[in-house]
C-alpha cells in the first residue's frame, strides 16, 4: 500500500515542485511505482512531468469535485517514469467550491483510497499556502516533507506549518508525521546558508535530511524540457542529489520498520516473560 507524502511549505519558491518531480522520478528509477498528484493551480509539476496543463480534459479538480473514477483521471507521464494526476488553474475554483462540500478536508483521502494499493508512493505537490487544497493533502498524507531554502526568512512560517500539522494530527489524521526537512538550492559558499542550516540541525536534529540539494542550473532548466533531471542530465549535481534523496527516504523507511519490528519482538518477549 502506497505511502502518501505531501510536499509542503506555504512559503513560495522554496523547491517544492522541483523536489516532488525529481523525487518521484528518482523513486521510479529504483523500480518503485509512483503517482504524483499535482495539487497546485500553477500546474508546474504537471508541466515538469512533460504533460501540457493547457490541454487537460480532466485534472485533480475533477478528483475533488466530481465522481469520475480515479483511474480515468490518472495519466501515464511515460517520459518521466511515473503516473500523474495532473493539475491546472481549474484547481483555483476547486478551492472555492470545496467550501460548500461536506467533510471538505477529507475529499482527497476518500477519493484516492481506490488506487492506493497500486503504488509504492503517492507524492502530492502542494500550493504555496495553507489553504483547503493543502489541508486535503495533509489529511490524506502519512507524512509531510518540507523543502526549505536556507535563507534569512526560512524559519519564519515553519512553526506555523508544524502547528498546522499538529492540529491536523489531533483533529483528523493521527498517523500524520513529519518525514523530514530538506535543504534546497543550497550554496555552501554562502555564510548565511550555512548559519541557517546549522540552526535547522540544532532545532530539528535528525528530522533534517542528510541529503542536501545544491543550487544547480540544470535543475532549473529541466522543467522547460518537460523532464525530470535524471532524464535531462543524469550526471548533473542536481540529478545525483535527488537520486541520493530517494535513497535516504527508502533507507529511513527501512530503519523505521526494523525499529518497529524490534519493538514488537521486545514486547513479545516481555509478554512471554510476564
Ligand X SMILES: Nc1ncnc2c1ncn2[C@@H]1O[C@H](COP(=O)(O)OP(=O)(O)OP(=O)(O)O)[C@@H](O)[C@H]1O
Give the interface with ligand X as residue ranges (CB under 6 A): 12-18, 40, 42, 44, 128, 184-185, 213, 215-216, 219-220, 223, 238
Site map 59..98 versus Mg ion, x via CB under 5 A: ----------------------------------------
Q: In the 8-state DSSP scheme, what is residue 86?
A: -
Counting Cα atoms < 13 Å in the Cβ hemisphere of 117 gives 1
Residue with the closest Cβ to Mg ion?
17
Residues 6+ positions from 25 with CB-CB distance below 8 Å: 80, 81, 82, 228, 229, 230, 231, 242
Is the Cβ–Cβ distance between 84 and 51 less than 8 Å?
A: yes
Q: State in angstroms the smallest separation of the CB of 204 from ligand X.
A: 19
Which region among 9-17, 26-34, 177-185, 209-217 touches Mg ion (by CB under 5 A)? 9-17
Task: List, in sequence order, every residue forming a beta bridge with 158; answer none if it has no partner.
Answer: none
Span 24-63, contacts to Mg ion by CB under 5 A: 44
Q: Is 12 exposed, middle or buried (0-12, 13-18, 19+ CB in 10 A)?
A: exposed
Q: Is 173 in the site for Mg ion (CB under 5 A)?
A: no
Q: Is 16 in the site for Mg ion (CB under 5 A)?
A: yes
CB nearer to Mg ion: pick between 151 and 253: 151
Q: Which does 185 bind (CB under 5 to 8 A by kind): Mg ion, ligand X, none?
A: ligand X
Q: State in angstroms the smallest separation of the CB of 4 from Mg ion.
A: 18
H or E element at residue 204: helix 191-204
Q: Which does 18 bind (CB under 5 to 8 A by kind): Mg ion, ligand X, none?
A: ligand X
Q: State in angstroms the smallest separation of the CB of 258 from ligand X.
A: 31
- State how far the Cα of 22 lies from the Cα of 13, in Å rounded to an integer: 15
Q: State in angstroms the smallest separation of the CB of 47 from Mg ion.
A: 11
How many residues of this chain bind Mg ion (CB under 5 A)?
3
Q: Is 221 exposed, middle or buried (0-12, 13-18, 19+ CB in 10 A)?
A: middle
Amino acid at each position: 500500500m502506497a505511502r502518501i507524502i505531501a510536499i509542503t511549505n506555504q512559503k513560495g519558491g522554496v523547491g517544492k515542485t522541483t523536489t516532488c518531480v525529481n523525487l518521484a522520478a528518482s523513486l521510479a528509477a529504483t523500480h518503485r511505482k509512483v503517482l504524483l498528484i499535482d495539487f497546485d493551480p500553477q500546474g508546474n509539476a504537471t508541466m515538469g512531468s512533460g504533460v501540457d496543463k493547457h490541454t487537460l480534459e480532466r485534472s485533480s479538480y475533477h478528483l475533488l469535485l466530481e465522481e469520475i473514477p480515479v483511474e480515468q483521471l490518472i495519466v501515464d507521464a511515460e517520459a518521466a517514469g511515473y503516473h500523474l494526476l495532473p493539475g491546472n488553474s481549474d484547481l483555483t475554483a476547486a478551492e472555492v467550491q470545496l467550501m460548500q462540500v461536506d467533510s471538505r478536508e477529507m475529499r482527497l483521502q476518500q477519493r484516492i483510497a481506490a488506487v492506493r494499493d497500486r503504488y509504492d508512493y503517492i507524492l502530492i505537490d502542494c500550493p504555496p499556502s495553507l489553504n483547503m487544497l493543502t489541508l486535503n493533502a495533509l489529511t490524506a498524507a502519512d507524512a509531510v516533507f518540507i523543502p526549505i531554502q536556507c535563507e534569512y526568512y526560512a524559519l519564519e512560517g515553519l512553526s506555523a506549518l508544524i502547528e498546522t500539522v499538529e492540529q491536523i494530527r489531533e483533529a483528523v489524521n493521527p498517523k500524520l508525521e513529519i518525514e523530514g526537512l530538506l535543504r534546497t538550492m543550497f550554496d555552501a559558499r554562502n555564510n548565511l546558508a550555512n548559519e541557517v542550516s546549522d540552526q535547522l540541525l540544532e532545532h530539528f536534529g535528525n528530522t533534517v535530511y542528510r541529503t542536501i540539494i545544491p543550487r544547480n542550473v540544470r535543475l532549473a532548466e529541466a522543467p522547460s524540457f518537460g523532464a525530470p533531471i535524471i532524464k535531462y542530465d543524469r550526471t548533473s549535481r542536481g540529478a545525483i542529489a535527488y537520486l541520493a534523496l530517494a535513497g535516504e527516504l527508502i533507507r529511513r523507511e527501512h530503519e523505521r520498520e526494523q525499529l518497529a519490528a524490534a519493538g514488537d519482538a521486545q514486547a513479545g518477549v516481555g509478554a512471554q516473560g510476564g
